[in-house]
Structure 1
Amino acid sequence: MPRSFVRIYPSVDAGNGVTRRVLAESPELMVVEFRFAKDGAGALHNHPHVQATYVKSGVFEFTIGDEVVLVRGGDSFVIPSSVAHGCRALEEGVLIDTFTPRRDDFL
């Protein structure tokens, strides 16, 4: 029987006004959608994965290392491995994050 490359993951409550849904994954790469309510927050944290973030919609205040930046729909950026980061949604919005390697803690 052939292996299916399509898998549908459920949305999960990530807390603080945020839901998370894995969109696609392999051991080397993971794509995740985060939906934020207004004032939803991603707590300051770090991880060994390299993270690329695309702001699909909304306006967010991001802390990345010692820098605080305002990002909005259409913006994108990379967060290096082990750099502390977090964000707050200034309005309802969606982030699409990619991680390398995969975040096994999200499965």
Structure 2
Amino acid sequence: MLKRYPATEADPGVTRQVLSETPDLMVVSFRFDTDAEGKLHSHPHVQATYVRSGRFAFTVADEAFEVGPGDSFVIPSDATHGCRCLEPGELVDTFTPRRDDFL
């Protein structure tokens, strides 16, 4: 069943849109303006991130790294993480289980 979700402002310069979801899995698009931040946070969900466009500086646990188009990585459950957008772009994140707080 296809369900459409509206885009919402997640943080200043960051737009979030749920693309699809079930109780066990969720796919979400995040669009960032330059210098916008995904503030440091953690959650119990495992997260896989794919960089569709742009450049980002990430911190995951104690590791800092930059990513660009085509890069992907996994963020373990409860790991503190966040990012800063270096060039405008889009991240596609997958969460398991679903992030009910995004609905």
Give the residue type in structure 2 aligned to 1:72. Answer: G
Q: TM-score, normalised by structure 2?
A: 0.99
Give the residue type in structure 1 aligned to 2:43. Answer: H
Q: TM-score, normalised by structure 1?
A: 0.95
Higher Cα Rg: structure 1 or 2?
A: 1
Give unmatched runs, 5+ long, in structure 1. none
The answer to whether structure 1 residue 103 and structure 2 residue 99 are counterparts is: yes
| Larger strand share, 1 or 2 | 2
From 27, 32, 40, the counterpart of 2:28: 32
Name the structure 1 match of 2:51.
55
Q: How does 1:1-107 map to 2 (within 5 A)?
A: 5-107=1-103
Distance 1:11 1:59 in 2: 21
Distance 1:12 1:90 in 2: 21
Distance 1:35 1:91 in 2: 11
Distance 2:101 2:76 in 1: 18
| Over 3 Å off, 4+ runs | none
Aligned-pair distance for 1:15? 1.4
Distance 1:84 1:47 in 2: 8
Q: Give the number of equivalent residue pairs.
A: 103
* Cα distance per residue 1:43-95 (max 9 Å; x no partner): 00000000000000000000000000000010000000000000000010100
Distance 2:84 2:70 in 1: 17
Backbone CA RMSD of aligned residues: 0.4
